[in-house]
Structure 1
Amino acid sequence: MRIAVTGSSGKLGTVVVRELSAMGYEVIGMDRIGQRGPSFVQVDFTDYGQVIDAFGAVGDRHDGIDAVVHLAAIPAPGIQSDVATFHNNMTASFNVLWAATRLGIRTVVTASSETVQGLPFDVPPPYIPADEAYPPRPESTYSLVKALEERMAVELVRWFPDLSLTALRFSNVMWPEDYAEFPSFDDDAMLRKWNLWSYIDARDGAQAIAKALEKKLPGFNHFLIANADTVMTRPNAELIAEVFPDVPLKGEIGENTTLFSIDKAREMLGYEPQHSWRDHV
């Protein structure tokens, strides 16, 4: 399978390219910036012509794409203005998805975000552990775009019933070198309450993408993707009692088990995190 990875120079994208390549996929990285080479194409995803051209064929690089992993975006709120974030991310995602449908590419995995769950939880979640069952609650322009992208995906699979479109709501992406900071989080439960003390190791993010590519679930599906544990050594019961005392508990919370439920991804994708910050600190 030949896979285009948009946003291939980003924090998650670089790891996804490496891990998918190691699994035997032919990977074509695409981004606005990146190292020139036979497996990279420079693309501005806000320009539809560039996107459809890059997916269709690029000289002697490739003669067509089998699947798309769409990660390209301004990656968080507050990096650029709200208007710039909306215009860039919404336009890029429409262009990528529309180009895929036009070219007959029927397997797409796209990066949604934990932020659609209601981050930074200044308004508490409806229950803990949070899961995909409650409607999106965007609280920023960045998150609003992610929610709109998911809605767009719902309509596209209605128009194209043979399309497999999977949105992965990634938690805060981390590399192993980021883990040295984690023990300091215990000093203040409020430091990481904004995403229920969650994270995703980029390598496990890549695993989730690989599982979605393998499964090719019909229609549109969305999944929370986090690691199996929190960023804290303090127990979940203590954290919840301090920060979210009035939020109902929905099922078991475990000692340090993730408070973003990944049960749906486990059941439908076969996703199972293999990494933990505790192995590095």
Structure 2
Amino acid sequence: MTTTTAPLLDVTGVTMRFGGLTAVNDVSLTVGEGEIIGLIGPNGAGKTTFFNCLTGLYVPTEGAVRYRGTVLPPKPHLVTQAGIARTFQNIRLFANMTVLENVLVGRHTRTREGIFSAILRLPRYHHAEAESREKAMELLAFTGLAHKADHLARNLPYGEQRKLEIARALASDPGLLLLDEPTAGMNPQETRAAEELVFAIRDQGVSVLVIEHDMRFIFNLCDRTAVLVQGQKIVEGDRATVQNDERVISAYLGAPLESTTPAAPEDTQ
């Protein structure tokens, strides 16, 4: 008897309209346990809008997003509590807080101490605070930032700010991490380090869905890659499948999708 394991993330028919504009059109995608899945496409293809639909920033016009078999609530903090964390295309750190404090902020969804415990500084509060600090330092060590725990986030080099944003996302103990262009603006050495970090995250039991424009990064990293063009998923598969698809080639060269439709044979009669 063959058994099939339900996907960790199951996105079915997600459509997002803004008035008369359809930004995402009937997109379905799955992410399994232990998978790294890529999402690529030209600028304006709807990739970040799709991420926003997954994380509760937008409520899809149509379709459903399920995580571990349960439809996700359309609230970002509840999506985080459910087990999905994300980073952003534009870095969103607390610039005037320390590196450690930024990661501690990411732990707030996993702490259970109430306001009275915090105000009265009860023993349970101190225990929870110590646990959060220990977990945060582990994550800083994991991302190579432990030696800069007391530095202000704004003083970190660009590549380390990217790492810090990932550490903060991991602080919520996600089962699925969404990365929105994690290597944007990085040099080749930083990009290679980011690739190794994503593999290490996967090895810790966290699945990853990543948007990226760096094709070498994506194809070195991902088990499968989906391509969005004009809000639609046109192909999904392994490296060879995606690279050799004429629709993908046309999209990146700027040709309209219609031009990839085979021409009708000429009438020779």
Q: TM-score, normalised by structure 1?
A: 0.33
Q: Which structure carries more relative contact order (alpha carbon 8 Å, separation 6+)?
A: 2
Larger-gyration structure (1/2): 2
Higher share of residues assigned strand: 2
**What's the TM-score, normalizing by structure 2?**
0.34
